[in-house]
Structures are given as structure tokens and as C-alpha cells.
Structure 1
Amino acid sequence: MERRTRTAAQDTAGRTARRHHGNRHGRSEEARRAILEAADDLLVEKGFAGVTVEGIAARAGVAKQTVYRWWPTKTDVLLDAFLEDMAEDLVPPDHGDVARDLRTYLPWLAYMLSSTDTGAVFRALVAQTHHDPAFAAVFRERCLDEQRRRDRLPLERAVRRGQLPADLDTAAETDLLVGPLYYRVLVTGEPVGREFTDRLVDAFLRRTGLA
């Protein structure tokens, strides 16, 4: 699995201020990272139903009580792990030109969703939303809403630069750009390669008069 460096600034609720004792990770932040990475790995390997707090603790090399100290359920662990991955991996670039930004971001988004461990975690969590309405509500609020905000960034930046009209419906245009990617990854399984993403960008540029 890809490994990423997580910083104390990304922690929540002052978790890094606490000290951790009683396992091979001497410091709280080390233990926290180990737990999040273990949760990621187990979700990829076993799917949502196969992940348990006990399994996360064993993989991370910490006591079960350490997991419960920070997260009340396995769902909370999995969501925090995934949110950190998304925040690190799926921030659109800013080249100062919307066409270049989209031609860079859409292929990267398609690759991340379809061909990486982060994407596998995303697909597993989305699948779980179909079986658990309470989880679905939390997942939409904590994950999907934030990702939609990131997906809109290239268009919102272009509006602020004056490259796109101020009255552009950025939410609707973003759905037309990235919606087909999510649909293919989550529903049809069709390819989402560069040719496909370039066609989406070309259609957008024509709609907005930039082509």
C-alpha cells in the first residue's frame, strides 16, 4: 500500500497532545498513524465487514483500548484514515489556467479512484453506504461534501481570475466534468483513461467558450 507522511497539523481534537504508553509505538502520533494505516490496509484486504477494532489494533501493534481512546467505532477510524488520504491525494493543482488544471486533475482523479489503494478504500466505503443508512449520512457529510468542494476548485479559481463568467454554475459544471468518472468507477467499470478525461475537458471548454 502507498505510504504517506501524515503531520500533526492534520490531527483532530488535540489528539497529538496526549502521550501513548503500553505498546511498541512510544509516542501518541506514531500510534495514531499506525492505527490509521492499519485501518486502510485491512479495508483494502478484507472489505468493510472484515475490519474490526481488534484487527486494527493487532495490525497497528497497539492495545484495543488505545483505538477506543480516540475513535468510538471502526467506522470512525476508517473515515478518519480515508479523509486524510483524500486531503493529501486529491487536491486539484493550480497552474493559473483552467484548461491545464482540468487536463491535469481529471486524469489524476480517475487514476486515484480506479487504480490505487485510496480508490479501493473509497469504493469499499461507498459500497457500505448501500447497507447502512446511518453510515451513508455520515459519509456524505464528512467525505463526499468535502470532495465535491475540492472538485469545484479549478472552476472557482478560474471564475476569480476572470477566465470564466462570474455567473457560471460551478456546481453543475463540476458534476458534468467529474460525475462521469465516479459513475464509471463505481457503477459500470468502464475505462477512465486519458482519452476519456480529455473528451470531458474538451466538452467543458466548448460549453464555456474557451475552445
Structure 2
Amino acid sequence: MSRAPNAARRSESSRRAILTATAELCSEDGYGRLTIEAIATRAGVSKKTIYRWWPSKGAVVLELLDEAASVAVDPPDTGDLATDLRALLTEVIGLLTPPHNSPAIGLIAEALHDPDLARDLRERLIQPRIATFKERLRRAQETGQLPPDADLDVALDLLYGPLYHRMALHLGMPDSSHLDSLIAHVLRALTPPPSAGVPEQRRESQTGVS
């Protein structure tokens, strides 16, 4: 006895084909040249099928990036804060590289002119990863790797800001050595020096100031 086609399986197969086609086209031609028509042709589906699930090419790319990101669900926790921050930042660097055909860079640029896409980008991709970052830093505070009064919002800006600065000004992503240096300097800035807790009179005696 023949069975009727499984509509859910067929839909998932089409969805996967669409996302795969989108990734391939972005890699080949960049986000700027990506069109719904090209995606449909490469995936072997109709434009109507794509628009049934996504309102724009930006929405397709957003779902592609959301699935591709690997460190979003659970923050890494090796016990070494610098190592875990490196994993989080390396994921972002991977999304922004190479700049000429990175779907993430194209999506960020388009979101500047599309409030709905900007909202979806923030809610689906950005905010969950900020939460992951802060959760890892809270664990570091609990284990004494960071002081309890460390400002996690400032830490976010200090660590992630340079990546987007370098992206926007075409300075290139930091290499391994530069990334390690960035993390080391930020952790040093977030941790008060040992002398911070020494009484003023004792510091004066140690420095010879009377």
C-alpha cells in the first residue's frame, strides 16, 4: 500500500535546501547580490515557498546564522575564563569573516535601514549571545575569577566593541595573538590591582611618601 507524502518532512527538506542555497550563494557572491530568485533557483523551490516562511532575504540569512552559531545555547566553562572568552569571541570572528562575503556583515548593514530586521536580529541573534556572555562572567564572579562588582555591560563593550570597530573600518579581524592580548588587557582592567585594598597610610609607607 502506498503512503501519502509526509508534508512536514517535505517542508523541512525544502527549508534545509533553502538555507543551504543561501549559504552557498553568500559564499560565492556575497550578501549584496543575494536575491530571493537566486535562492529559489538554487534550492529548487518556488519564491512562494520561501515567502511562506520568511518575509525577506535578510530573514532567511538571519535563520541561517542563528542555526550556524554554535556557542549560543550554553556558555563554555572550562574553568579558565580567558579560554572561554576566546571561544565566544572566536565564534563572532568566524561570523564576520571573510568581510567581502560574510552574510553576517551584510545582515548587519541591512538592519541599519530595516527596523523590523534590526529587531529580529537583536532578539534572535544578539541578545541570546549577550546573555550567554554575561552568564559566563557571573560564574567567574562566583568562583572569584572576577570581582563581584565588575560591570558586565562594560566588559561586553570592551571585548566585543573592538571586533565591530575593526569590521566597520576594514582593519581586519584580530589574529590569535592579538585576541589573547585583548582578553588579557580587559580582564586586567576589570580586576582591581592588589594595592586597591591597602589603606592609604600603608601605601604611603611602602612608597616612601610621608
TM-score range, shorter chain: 0.7 to 0.9
1:29-48 correspondence to structure 2 within 5 Å: 29-48=12-31
2:206 match: none
Bigger CA radius of gyration:
2
Q: Is 1:189 the counterpart of 2:171 in the alignment?
A: yes
Of 143, 150, 175, the match for 1:168: 150
Structure 2 counterpart of 1:175, which letter? Answer: D
Deviations 1:23-65, CA, capped at 9 Å, x for gaps: xxx7332221111121222233344443222221211122333
C-alpha distance 123-72 of structure 1, shift in aligned 2 (>3 A): closer
Deviations 1:76-112, CA, capped at 9 Å, x for gaps: 22211121112x2666521022133224443x23641
Q: Alpha-carbon deviation of 1:176?
A: 0.6
RMSD of Structure 2 on Structure 1 (CA): 3.0
Residues 53, 74 of structure 1: 8 Å contact kept: yes
1:139 match: 121
1:112 match: 94
1:81 match: 64
TM-score, normalised to structure 2's length? 0.72
Deviations 1:152-209, CA, capped at 9 Å, x for gaps: 3431221233432333211211211121122112324244112211111221232215
1:123 match: 105
1:199 match: 181
Residues 90, 109 of structure 1: 8 Å contact kept: no
Could you list the structure 1 runs, at least 4 aligned residues long, displaced by more than 4 angstroms after superposition: 89-92
Q: How many equivalent residue pairs?
A: 186
Q: Secondary structure at the match of 1:115?
A: coil
Structure 1 counterpart of 2:187, which letter? Answer: L
List gaps (5 residues or longer) in structure 1: 1-17, 21-25
TM-score, normalised to structure 1's length? 0.72
Structure 2 counterpart of 1:124, which letter? Answer: G
Structure 2 counterpart of 1:167, which letter? Answer: D
1:9 match: none
Identical aligned residues as a percent: 40
